[in-house]
Structure 1
Amino acid sequence: MAFLEIEDMGTAIYDYQVEQIADGNDEAMPDAIAAAIEEVRSYLTQNDRKEYSDGRPHYDVEKIFSKTGTERNSLLLQKTKTIAKFHFIDLCNADILYDRAQKNYDRAITYLVKLAKGDVTISGLDLIEENPEETEDDVLPYRSGSRKKFNHE
């Protein structure tokens, strides 16, 4: 079982709409779900840029997305469903309010950007434990001082 399954999508899109859009393609919804999970993961995964050592939360993405059932964070799950729905309905516009889905998608992405920046937090999301061996110089996002003297050698 994964973080988000096809059965979970019933609260985001009706079954008849899934059948109508998929048109017999059994891989359409799983592909949309996989793309949505990867997209959400990309917002929560820190990169190696020094600016991300400025106090923003560092999420334990593997632990968050390995949870199933009621262990999952409901808000993050709902945002992932919204993104999966948008990826799925991008195949077709049959009986779907595309503009509404687009606005919901845009709101979900805006929220995830804020979450990644640390402007908002979701309680209960697993964080990566800080490394106690790091010195203060290792975690500062900037450095002050002068450059080494330039010589024409």
Structure 2
Amino acid sequence: MPFLVDTDYEVQIRNWVKQIITQYKTDVLHQAELAAQAEMESYLRQRYDVAKIFSETGGNRNALIILYMVDIALYHLHANISADNVPEIRIIRYNAAKDWLKAVAKGDISPDLPEKPDEGEGGEGSGNQIVEFGSRPKYSERF
């Protein structure tokens, strides 16, 4: 089941404009949504459980994820028509979405998203290793 529904677009674009940029094809819209989701997952994967984020439905979905995913999808749809003539508002909103995702990935912003579960004590099984720094106590060889 797709993460976005038709009503998610109503806030940012009129339905007749959406029909024009998708060329009245639902598969074009679906491909843009999948590309937007993959782009978002690439930023969120390190800290958040992306499978859980994008499996939510209805009112359980995060409003910011919906907003930025629509922005990214609409940008890609406009770029599909003519990469040189993407409306300025789409470019601005796409860049804002990328900036938000970068800030989330860095940890500057902490949205209400499900954290990635720990995979064992000390990061076992997650590819993480514990590295300890330091040295042994200093010993004197003089008597």
TM-score band, normalised by shorter chain:
0.7 to 0.9
CA distance in 1, matches of 2:89, 2:96: 11
| Contact preservation (8 Å) 2:78, 2:86 | no
Give the SS at the match of 1:91.
Answer: helix
User: How do 1:48-63 and structure 2 match up within 5 A?
Assistant: 58-63=47-52
Report how far residue 106 of structure 1 moved.
Answer: 0.4
SS in 2 for 1:27: helix
**Is the CA contact 2:32–2:77 (under 8 Å) kept in the aligned structure 1?**
yes
**One-letter code of the match for 1:2?**
P
Q: Which has the higher contact order (CA 8 A, sep 6+)?
A: 1
How many Å apart are 1:76 and its aligned residue?
Answer: 1.4
Number of the residue aligned with 1:18: 18
Structure 2, unaligned runs of 5 or more: 136-143
2:129 maps to which of 127, 138, 144: 138
* Identity value in percent: 29
Aligned mates of 1:16, 1:144 — CA distance in 2: 65
Aligned length: 129
Runs of 4+ in 1 over 3 A off after TM superposition: 142-145
Question: Shift of residue 13 of structure 1?
Answer: 1.6
The alpha-carbon deviation at position 5 of structure 1 amounts to 2.6
Relative to structure 1, is the Cα distance of residues 121 and 139 closer, same or farther in structure 2, using a 3 angstrom cutoff?
farther
**RMSD (Å) for aligned C-alpha atoms:** 2.5
CA offsets 1:58-99 (integer angstroms, 9 cap, x no match)? 211111110011001111111111111111111236xx9711
Alignment of structure 1 residues 29-44 onto 2, 5 Å: 29-44=29-44
Is 1:5–1:33's contact at 8 Å kept on the other side of the alignment?
no
Q: Identify the residue that residue 110 of structure 1 maps to in structure 2.
A: 99
2:16 corresponds to 1:28: no
Shift of 1:139: 4.3
Aligned to 2:67: 78
- Counterpart of 2:110 in structure 1 is 121
SS in 2 for 1:12: coil
Q: Would you say the 8 A contact 2:43–2:105 is kept in 1? A: yes
Offset at residue 138 of structure 1 (A): 2.5
TM-score by length of 1: 0.73
Q: Name the TM-score, length of structure 2 as normaliser.
A: 0.77
2:80 counterpart of 1:91: yes
SS at match of 1:70: helix
